[in-house]
Chains A and B, each alone.
Chain A
Amino acid sequence: MQAYISISGSLTELERDAGVASLLSGPRCGSNRKDVGKSKEEAYKEAAKAIALLTSTRQVKHRLIHLLMKKGLDNAISRYCAYEKLPKVYQTVCRSADCVETLVRGMLYKVCRLEKHAALDAKIGEMAASLRENRDNLSAYDRVSIVQQFIHHRVDIALGEGAHTSLPVHHMQNSLSACRLHLLIIDLQSKHEAYAVYMEELSRIATNLERDRIESGSDAMADRVSPYWRIRHLKTLTHFIESGSRKRITRLREIDEDLPLEEFRREALGIYAS
């Protein structure tokens, strides 16, 4: 069976058919690309400013690798947003520690106009903390459905049974998609390597399983608008990372730290902005 998730970031068959290429590379002049207008030389200049005060080759190396990792993540986030058609305004929230709280509060207080309560705020906080902790090792996809159920439940309590069915779909979709992105970011940045690897593996297995179910044509799928909907949402953030930035990190690691600082800087910046 063909692998449907490609870590290197190249397109799968499915995505090519869906015309995802244009989404992944980002709208050319659109607002979703963070590095719009930044040429190689611009990147070189910014990095030069960042390392100008460093006095050892090792410091320079570490700073540039760190910058590349950060940029890689930025780009992955931009690509995710483009893929999910998530408006730019969500990008900053996804990185904040209290993203889930912010978005759930937004749905309840701003969209549904529920009355603000310290008790409800506390419940939201508890739920968000448990998602971040993720003791049951649930995938981001499954954790997001917990968020969804939480919102539905709260809306029904406040506005009457069944009220959740009239929630504005567009806002709900965006918020849940942003929550998932947030959880994917923390998963990727988790200090426990084993956890991050497990999450990656989980996503792969779940996707394959899902794909088998679709292809075997089981009845449960009949009413889905798009049978591939779930697959689309099972991807982890590594799927969105460019291969280029990894190669650059490897090349940076390999430069000889014994070179004179001046020469080292030039070579390292050259690789950084390549």
Chain B
Amino acid sequence: MKKRHIVCGRFDPVVSLNVSDRKRLSRVRRIGTDRPALRPKPSYLPFSTDGKHVVHEKGTSSVSAFLDDASTHPESALIVLTRKEYFSILDDIALRDLKVSILEESYPIFPDIVFRRTLRHNLNLLTKLLKKVETLDIRCGSFSGDQSSRHIHRIARKLRFKNGFDRLFFHAYRDPYQEVFRLVEERPDRVIVALDFNSMFADCMKGTFCEPRSLREVTFDSSDISVEDLPEGVFHVVLSEAKESFFLSMHPFLFKRLNRSYRFNLKAGDSVELLLFRAEIKYYRQFFSSVEVKQGIVSDTSIPHPMANDVEGVYSRRLSYKAAGDKTMESYCRLSLQMMHSATNRRSFRSKRFDRVEDLAAFLAAHFDVFFGDGDELVEELEQFLFKNKYCAVESRDDQYHLTYLDIDVDSALYSISAKILANARIKLFTTIQRFLDFESVEICYSNVDSIHLSVKRSMLDAFLAHHGDLISDRIGDLKVQAIADKGYWFDLGRYWLKRNNEVVLFRNKNFNFSRAVDPFVASTKVTRLARSPAFSHIYYQLHLIENAFSYSKRLGTTESSERMDFVRFEFDEIQTIADANMSEANEAMHSKRIKIDLFDRIADKTGFGSTGDMADPKEANNG
């Protein structure tokens, strides 16, 4: 059989550690940050409203009068307690071009916030919580803004410098391991165990990292390199001749074409070319016959994560707050931990203008490591690359192309750190899965970044939990049993329901179920959208139905029994071009959409009771 060579790049089948401008890359510069203490704190004007009246510190007035008055005092920042209040006056805010913050959104650390019909009550609570915000010295107008500026400042104080090679780590393989393996598990002799890691990313900040100031490039001539001797860094590797193992159908690599990702099955004998960290090479090589390391960006000194010590401290504070029942401070610590990892990954955008589409394409190709064809293909592929792209957007104005793109050279980014954390998380999840699979009767149903759902024989459950007891505890990075269920249904990432004795014990239904919905099976949701320009503001609603939200990136396998239905990955030739992949998904939609919606109706036991969810956040259609 023909041996295939599959290239898995960040956005496209392109892997290149482009070091042509070595002089610029090796220039050392300061990591950009500013002192958190100098960051501004907004002076808030809190109020509560029901859409008609406003209660504020000085009394009661009509919405119009209050907002008209407020627009003459731009120095005070308006704030309400709940989303509900915000939506009730959205029209009035938008017409006046005012900005109104929402406490439960900007400061998501406070538990159990609900809107009460007595406006005075909401105002009192809001004032009280704003005092707490003041005491905690949260700046920048939001918890996330405050935390990320604090974290990056701390990191910058410790590391001080980085060099230009850091940008190349942006291209390292970065997708987390997330996949749905099973649609239905209802076999009576089985139970489902849902596990998740305690503060996964914070735990993955342990271990060693490259020192960002001393990054350099190394090349290797022969394939005869001992992986053990590699220094800390990211490497351009070819993993050759995959061996027969579970890895072929469960490997964590995605095939990318023009920023679209596809899962696929490997075949024995296939080779994969990509950028991997040292620890990943060490781990994945067991599944291949040989590993060729071509080039690397490394540092001879390795360092601990600059916030590694803080992680332990904050995590133990979190546990003690939890024990003391202080929910606010517990979520403060939990969210702060989450943001420690992303502080090195802050996005910053730049813009550039082009007269010719060819120049635009050439720039994007070089900046993001993408390959575009010529002529008609160029424009078509460029459009495909730009479609729903988080990292760049193009507008054509005045006969020019205005590009806004992620600046991967920005002083405040440290991709060498953040990419390594993601790699650690991937290995951690994958090794755990491998360990579980070695246990008798275990089958993996679902995995998503830091959670694993598996099915095990009912008679083996106790033995399973005892055998893996060393992994299950309160400690950071260990597993927590979220639920044990007898039936499980996984439709997509972030859309599953686990039932025990016909009661839902654990579920997620992204974009449809929000915190306050009573019914776990919300099947439609109304999204409020706001289109705003200097000349008008327009509020409109979109209805989303669950039947249109299912994805078809894997095929529903054929099974003899309806008690167990599995998803299988597409073969590589079914997804190797975007056209092939679209056709594969189209066929899959026609095959399984009916099955999925019927299953949903059955498990939700829809007998016609209301199921419209909370309103989601307004998405601005355009900033005008």
B578 interfacial by beta-carbon distance below 8 Å: yes
In the complex the two chains form, is A52's CB within 8 Å of B380's CB? Answer: no
In the complex the two chains form, is B621's CB within 8 Å of A92's CB? Answer: yes
Q: Provide the residues of chain B in CB contact with A90, threshold 8 Å.
A: 533
Q: Provide the residues of chain B in CB contact with A217, threshold 8 Å.
A: none
CA distance A116 to B397 in the complex (A): 35
CA distance A40 to B580 in the complex (A): 11
Q: Mark A25-38, 1 if CB is under 8 A from B, else 0.
A: 00111110000111
In the complex the two chains form, is A45's CB within 8 Å of B586's CB? Answer: yes
Q: Provide the residues of chain A in CB contact with B579, threshold 8 Å.
A: 39-41
CA distance A36 to B258 in the complex (A): 14
Stretch in B316-324, B381-389, B461-469 with 4+ CB within 8 Å of A = B381-389
B562 interfacial by beta-carbon distance below 8 Å: no
The listed residue (A39, A44, A49, A92) touching B538 by CB distance below 8 A is A92
In the complex the two chains form, is B624's CB within 8 Å of A87's CB? Answer: yes
The listed residue (A38, A51, A52, A103) touching B536 by CB distance below 8 A is A103
In the complex the two chains form, is A106's CB within 8 Å of B536's CB? Answer: yes
A88 nearest in chain B by CB position = B622
CA distance A229 to B582 in the complex (A): 44
Min CB distance A81 to B, Å, is: 12
Q: Provide the residues of chain B in CB contact with A87, threshold 8 Å.
A: 533, 622, 624
A109 interfacial by beta-carbon distance below 8 Å: yes
Q: Mark B355-383, 1 if CB is under 8 A from A, else 0.
A: 00100100000000000000000011011
In the complex the two chains form, is A29's CB within 8 Å of B97's CB? Answer: no
B547 interfacial by beta-carbon distance below 8 Å: yes
Given A90-B533, A175-B536: A269 touches B586 (CB 8 Å cut-off) = yes
Interface size on B, residues (CB 8 A): 50
In the complex the two chains form, is A39's CB within 8 Å of B531's CB? Answer: no
Min CB distance A48 to B, Å, is: 4
CA distance A102 to B94 in the complex (A): 12
Q: Provide the residues of chain B in CB contact with A105, threshold 8 Å.
A: 95, 536
In the complex the two chains form, is A48's CB within 8 Å of B586's CB? Answer: yes
Min CB distance B334 to A, Å, is: 37
CA distance A111 to B590 in the complex (A): 50
Q: Provide the residues of chain A in CB contact with B395, threshold 8 Å.
A: 27, 30-31
In the complex the two chains form, is B535's CB within 8 Å of A110's CB? Answer: yes
Min CB distance B384 to A, Å, is: 5
Q: Mark B599-624, 1 if CB is under 8 A from A, else 0.
A: 00000000000000000000001111
B144 interfacial by beta-carbon distance below 8 Å: no
The listed residue (A38, A48, A89) touching B621 by CB distance below 8 A is A89
Min CB distance A264 to B, Å, is: 12
Q: Provide the residues of chain A in CB contact with B597, threshold 8 Å.
A: 53
In the complex the two chains form, is A28's CB within 8 Å of B379's CB? Answer: yes
Q: Mark B457-491, 1 if CB is under 8 A from A, else 0.
A: 00000000000000000000000000000000000
CA distance A156 to B474 in the complex (A): 71
In the complex the two chains form, is A37's CB within 8 Å of B383's CB? Answer: yes
CA distance A209 to B532 in the complex (A): 39
In the complex the two chains form, is A110's CB within 8 Å of B582's CB? Answer: no
A235 interfacial by beta-carbon distance below 8 Å: no
A265 interfacial by beta-carbon distance below 8 Å: yes
CA distance A111 to B534 in the complex (A): 7
B548 interfacial by beta-carbon distance below 8 Å: yes
CA distance A36 to B548 in the complex (A): 21
Min CB distance A13 to B, Å, is: 22
CA distance A111 to B536 in the complex (A): 8
In the complex the two chains form, is A89's CB within 8 Å of B582's CB? Answer: no
CA distance A38 to B260 in the complex (A): 13
In the complex the two chains form, is B384's CB within 8 Å of A53's CB? Answer: no
In the complex the two chains form, is A36's CB within 8 Å of B387's CB? Answer: yes
B283 interfacial by beta-carbon distance below 8 Å: no
Q: Provide the residues of chain B in CB contact with A115, threshold 8 Å.
A: 68
Given A29-B396, A44-B582, A45-B582: A52 touches B594 (CB 8 Å cut-off) = yes
CA distance A265 to B397 in the complex (A): 41
In the complex the two chains form, is A29's CB within 8 Å of B536's CB? Answer: no
Q: Provide the residues of chain B in CB contact with A29, threshold 8 Å.
A: 357, 360, 379, 382-383, 386, 394, 396, 401
The listed residue (A28, A30, A110) touching B534 by CB distance below 8 A is A110
The listed residue (B529, B582, B583, B590) touching A52 by CB distance below 8 A is B590
Min CB distance A2 to B, Å, is: 29
Q: Provide the residues of chain A in CB contact with B583, threshold 8 Å.
A: 41, 44-45
| B:555-569 near A, CB below 8 Å | none
CA distance A107 to B394 in the complex (A): 29
| B:391-426 near A, CB below 8 Å | 394-397, 401
A93 nearest in chain B by CB position = B538
CA distance A48 to B590 in the complex (A): 6
The listed residue (B357, B529, B589, B623) touching A45 by CB distance below 8 A is B589
CA distance A45 to B584 in the complex (A): 9
B537 interfacial by beta-carbon distance below 8 Å: yes
Given A37-B387, A87-B533: A92 touches B593 (CB 8 Å cut-off) = no
In the complex the two chains form, is B396's CB within 8 Å of A110's CB? Answer: no
CA distance A45 to B553 in the complex (A): 12
B587 interfacial by beta-carbon distance below 8 Å: yes
A30 nearest in chain B by CB position = B396
B185 interfacial by beta-carbon distance below 8 Å: no
B64 interfacial by beta-carbon distance below 8 Å: yes
Q: Provide the residues of chain B in CB contact with A103, threshold 8 Å.
A: 535-536
Q: Provide the residues of chain B in CB contact with A201, threshold 8 Å.
A: none
Given A29-B383, A109-B95, A116-B95: A102 touches B536 (CB 8 Å cut-off) = yes
A250 interfacial by beta-carbon distance below 8 Å: no
Min CB distance A64 to B, Å, is: 13
CA distance A96 to B95 in the complex (A): 17
29 contacts between A and B (CB under 8 A): A27-B396, A28-B379, A28-B382, A29-B360, A29-B382, A29-B386, A29-B396, A37-B383, A37-B388, A39-B582, A41-B583, A44-B583, A45-B585, A45-B589, A47-B586, A48-B585, A48-B589, A49-B548, A52-B589, A87-B622, A96-B540, A105-B536, A110-B537, A115-B68, A116-B64, A116-B95, A175-B535, A265-B590, A269-B586
Given contacts A37-B383, A48-B586, 10 further A-B contacts (CB under 8 A): A28-B396, A42-B582, A49-B586, A51-B590, A53-B547, A89-B533, A92-B531, A103-B535, A106-B535, A265-B590
Interface residues of B (CB under 8 A from A): 64, 68, 95-97, 357, 360, 379-380, 382-388, 394-397, 401, 529, 531-538, 540, 547-548, 552, 578-579, 582-583, 585-587, 589-590, 593-594, 597, 621-624
The 7 lowest CB-CB distance pairs between A and B, nearest first, are: A37-B387, A106-B536, A27-B396, A41-B582, A52-B593, A48-B586, A30-B396
